[in-house]
Amino acid sequence: MQYNWHWKVLLETEPGGTGTYLQYLIVGLGWTLATALVAWVLALAIGAVVGTLRTTSLKWAVRAGNLYVEIFRNVPLIVQMFLWFFVVPELLPQAIGDWIKQMPPPWGSYVPAVMCLAIFTSVRVAEQLRAGINSLPRGQRLAGIATGLTEAQAYRHVILPQAFRIVLPPLTSEFMNIIKNSSVALTIGLLELTGRARAMQEFSFRVFEAFATATVIYLLTNLIVVLAMRALEKKVRVPGLIAAQAGH
Amino acid sequence: MFAGYDFDVIERSLPYLFREGMVFTLTLTALAMAGGIFFGTLLAMMRLSSVRVVSALAGGYVNLMRSLPLVLVIFWFFFLVPYLYGAVRGEGRPIAIGAFYSALITFTMFEAAYYCEIMRAGIQSIARGQVWSAYALGLNYWQTMGFIVLPQAFRNMLPVLLTQTIILFQDTSLVYVISATDFLGAAAKIANRDYRLVEMYTFVAVVYFIVSYGLSALVKTFQDRIAIIR
């Protein structure tokens, strides 16, 4: 293998003149996290509503929830990205569409990317939450109703507080997925970490230095997320369940 | 909303979209599935090995692949494989191998990590007595795996393996980033040439939806049929 490593390239100035290549990549990580975090908050909110509705006794809500989940689960992420970026502005009323298309960069890519990742991930959150709710003993809901709570109150005070604590560990891996999936936003022009590694490779011709640095940054990010989530999981563990004793 | 929607551009490009694009996508999916399951099974056996070094190596590889975005891995292999191929051929310089083979190697190696975790769960779901009985009958490791453990693990995990393959089918659309002409790539080329982005991308979404939804429905019926009665 003949490849002359030239790690000093990381300290050279990138063509945009905003700093070194290393700084350029770290700003990319900032965009990755900014995209993933905002999309994650939205995904949790939408996913919680859809996942809950799919377990209720409302038939229309269950059907609408199922339709939502099937649509956004069976179309590839990059295609959904293109739909949000190219197609949605065309289908909206012209004034709003034009306003979206004229958003200055990077917001013109950032907003569609966040919307896309939020909806894409909300489906997975909804599935996890539905599984969590269904894993509760039926007696919990029945006892809630028997003590005079309405269905909504039973959800609010009995079912959801338990379900959320049960689904937290599987949601951790969804959060890691949203960080990884945000790299697909480079196809609509968002310069997040992978996009910037690609750009660095094109400017400097240092292929493997660029991708190796991005790889290390992703691994470190993963490590931090895993440690943080593990601490959080310990905090919200439901006492008395098997998971509480097994430790994961 | 559909005023000015040009159905004609879709009709005109159908042969190109399916004969070039969809054939690329399906070939890539099928070959990467076969390769991914093969290497994934080997990785799972390595991860469960009692030799520390072997299980650590396999575990490291699987965790590395699962921590990185697929797009980044596609770029890595796209540039790395020509170097490796050049080195193997002893020419000392990178040799271009084309987008299809690059994508095939990428998806085989990437999906192997995911198939590995499925097969590992499958192997671990087999009762330990099965392995002991096999050893007691005088079978060696490879015979035990080949005749006793893996056939049962495959059968137990078949629905999950197929579900992962549907995910693989959707993920192959990411070869767009190395400008390969898969189904999405073919549609994107026409979309940009004729400036018909709305028509082409909605059509692509509908086709992906129909195929993925149909396949998941098939897996579901299949799952009920092959379920082992215990």
Q: Where are the domains of chain B?
A: 7-226
Longest dimension (CA), chain B: 74
Tell me, letter by letter, the H, E, C secondary structure of chain B. CCCCCCHHHHHHHHHHHHHHHHHHHHHHHHHHHHHHHHHHHHHHHHHCCCCHHHHHHHHHHHHHHHHCCHHHHHHHHHHHHHHHHHHHCCCCCCCCCHHHHHHHHHHHHHHHHHHHHHHHHHHHCCCHHHHHHHHHCCCCHHHHHHHHHHHHHHHHHHHHHHHHHHHHHHHHHHHHHHCCCCHHHHHHHHHHHHCCHHHHHHHHHHHHHHHHHHHHHHHHHHHHHHCCCC
Count of CA atoms in the C-beta half-sphere (13 A) of A168: 21
Token output for A8: 């000093």
Q: What gap in Å lies between CA B83 and CA A3, rounded to an integer?
A: 8
Q: For B209, which of A71, A90, A176 is closest by C-beta distance? A: A71
What are the backbone dihedrals phi and psi of residue A233, each rounded to the nearest 5 degrees, phi first? -60, -40
pLDDT (0 to 100) of residue A242: 63
B211 against A19, higher pLDDT:
B211
CA-CA-CA-CA torsion for B136, B142, B145, B148, nearest 10 degrees? -50
ipTM score assigned to the predicted complex? 0.91
* A33-193 topology per CATH: MetI-like fold (1.10.3720)
Q: What is the DSSP letter of A247?
A: T
Which of A82, A177, A192 should one mutate to test binding to chain B, selecting the residue with the greatest count of B CBs within 10 A? Answer: A82
Contacts of residue A73 in chain B, CB cutoff 8 Å? 212
Task: Tell me the count of A-B CB pairs closer than 8 A.
Answer: 104
Query: Are A194 and B72 in contact (CB < 8 Å)?
Result: yes
Contacts of residue A70 in chain B, CB cutoff 8 Å? 213
- CATH number, domain B7-226: 1.10.3720.10
For residue A3, the tally of other CB atoms under 10 A from its CB is 12
Quote the crossing angle between the two packed helices B150-171 and B23-47, to the nearest 10°.
Answer: 140
In the three-class reduction of DSSP (H, G, I as helix; E, B as strand; rest coil), residue A229 is classed as helix
Nearest CA in chain B to A176: B67
In the three-class reduction of DSSP (H, G, I as helix; E, B as strand; rest coil), residue A100 is classed as helix
Confidence class of residue B17 from pLDDT cuts 50, 70 and 90? confident
Q: What gap in Å lies between CA B13 and CA B16, rounded to an integer?
A: 5
For residue A60, the tally of other CB atoms under 10 A from its CB is 8
Quote the crossing angle between the two packed helices B23-47 and B183-194, to the nearest 10°.
Answer: 140
Token output for B68: 């990185």
**Cβ(B223)–Cβ(B163) below 8 Å:** no
Q: What gap in Å lies between CA A125 and CA A162, rounded to an integer?
A: 16
Q: What gap in Å lies between CA B116 and CA B109, rounded to an integer?
A: 11
- B-side interface with A, Cβ within 8 Å? 1, 64, 67-72, 75-76, 79-80, 83-84, 87, 92-93, 170-171, 173-174, 176-177, 184, 188, 191, 197-198, 201-202, 204-205, 208-209, 212-213, 216
A87 interfaces chain B, CB cutoff of 8 Å: yes
Q: What gap in Å lies between CA B25 and CA B100, rounded to an integer?
A: 10
Query: Are B84 and A76 in contact (CB < 8 Å)?
Result: no
Is residue B1 predicted with pLDDT exceeding 90? no
Tell me the residues of chain A between 168 and 187 that have a Cβ less than 8 Å away from chain B: 176, 180-184, 186-187
pLDDT (0 to 100) of residue B2: 60
pLDDT (0 to 100) of residue A246: 46
Per-residue model confidence as pLDDT tens for chain A (248 residues)? 567 888 888 888 888 878 898 999 999 999 999 999 999 999 999 999 999 999 998 899 999 999 999 999 999 999 999 999 999 988 888 888 888 888 888 888 999 999 999 999 999 999 999 999 999 998 999 999 999 999 999 999 999 999 988 888 888 889 999 999 999 999 999 999 999 999 999 988 888 999 999 999 999 999 999 898 888 888 887 777 766 544 44
- Each domain of chain A, given as residue ranges in start order, spans 33-193
pLDDT one-digit tens code per residue, B138-172: 999 999 999 999 999 998 899 999 999 999 999 99
- Say which residue the tokens 């369940």 belong to: A241
A202 interfaces chain B, CB cutoff of 8 Å: no
- CA-based nearest residue to B157, from B44, B22, B18: B44
- CA-based nearest residue to A97, from A85, A87, A89, A105: A89
pLDDT one-digit tens code per residue, B27-49: 999 999 999 999 999 999 999 99
Which residues on adjacent β-strands are paired with residue A13?
Answer: A20
Q: What gap in Å lies between CA B59 and CA B113, rounded to an integer?
A: 9
**Cβ(A211)–Cβ(A197) below 8 Å:** yes
Q: What's the gap between Cα B46 and its chain centre?
A: 20
pLDDT (0 to 100) of residue B228: 67
- CA-based nearest residue to B164, from B223, B218, B207, B115: B115
Token output for A159: 């079912």
For residue B139, the tally of other CB atoms under 10 A from its CB is 16
For residue A169, the tally of other CB atoms under 10 A from its CB is 17
